[in-house]
Amino acid sequence: MRLLVISDLHGDLESAHQAITQFRPDALLCCGDWGDADQVSAEQLEVFPRLLPVFSTYGNHDPLAILPELKNRDGSKVLLDQGEVRAFENLRITAIGGIWAKSHKQPYYVTDEDVAEATSHIVAQGPVDILLTHGCPIGLADLTPKGNRGGQRCFLNATHAISPRLHVCGHLHVAQERTLKDGRQVINAGATPDGSVVVIDAEPAHWSARLESFRKPGGHVASQPS
């Protein structure tokens, strides 16, 4: 079974289609930022769950009036609720969306308390395999294009408490990964329009999650991110 993780499309849905064509996944996961409401339409987004099951969280550039209404072919919602745990085949997937802020001034702002509440809800439901967030855990796969740390402690606390096999985040547009001492991975998916995705191959006796580059429209192959 293969899962593909995309992130930070910012309206470039064609890059997601290109990645699906190349890697042929059984399901599509998204760390958010499909695009603002003036960049993507319901009709464009509905194409994806018609192709394959989609599990998404949200970031700070998403059509929040559209995304919650999207449905997979089995009737399940594309958008995972905060702290929801969803089963897919033999995997358990969960999500905490939004970007960190001290207030709720914007609908995509989440506070320390919001993240802690979602984390507690996830932990109460038992072990999970994959955690999707848009924001990043500070110190883990959170380097910005300028080389600064762009993560937050609330997401670090979340990944420690939930202890997923894989935590995939986005937001910073820099593909990077970190393997912890216990073998768990934190991967920033980067920005899919730059040619960066995460590929997960999950079988009963085998698991691998890795950053991959893919062929862009026009025949260009993006450089493998470091």
Can you say how many angstroms the Cα of residue 125 is from the centroid of all Cα atoms in its chain? 20
CA distances from 181 to 78, 129, 152, 170 (A): 33, 17, 21, 22
Radius of gyration of the chain (CA): 16
The residue behind tokens 């949200």 is 58
Q: What's residue 45's pLDDT?
A: 98
CA distances from 20 to 5, 6, 26, 49 (A): 10, 10, 9, 12
Strand 176-179 versus strand 185-188 pairing type: antiparallel
pLDDT tens, residue by residue, 49-107: 999 999 999 999 999 999 999 999 999 999 999 999 999 999 999 999 999 999 999 99
Taking 70 as the pLDDT cut, the residues of the chain under it are 216-226
Going from N- to C-terminal start, the domains of the chain cover 2-213
What is the pTM for the complete model shown? 0.94
Q: What's residue 218's pLDDT?
A: 55
Copy the structure tokens of residue 25: 């996944």
Q: What's residue 220's pLDDT?
A: 43
Q: Which CATH superfamily is domain 2-213 in?
A: Metallo-dependent phosphatases (3.60.21.10)
Q: What's residue 213's pLDDT?
A: 93
Q: What's residue 223's pLDDT?
A: 38
Contact 8, 193 (CB under 8 A): yes
Distance CA 33, CA 180 (A): 27
Copy the structure tokens of residue 5: 């993780």
Q: What's residue 206's pLDDT?
A: 87
Copy the structure tokens of residue 91: 């995997």
Question: How many other C-beta atoms are found inside a 10 Å radius of the C-beta of residue 107?
Answer: 11
For residue 126, give the DSSP letter: -
DSSP state letters, 152-180: BHHHHHHHHHH--SEEEE-SS---EEEE-
The residue behind tokens 């202890």 is 163
CB-based contacts of 208, cutoff 8 Å, min separation 6 = 200, 201
Report the candidate in 141, 146, 119 with the shortest Cα–Cα distance to residue 198.
141
User: Three-class SS of residue 4?
Assistant: strand
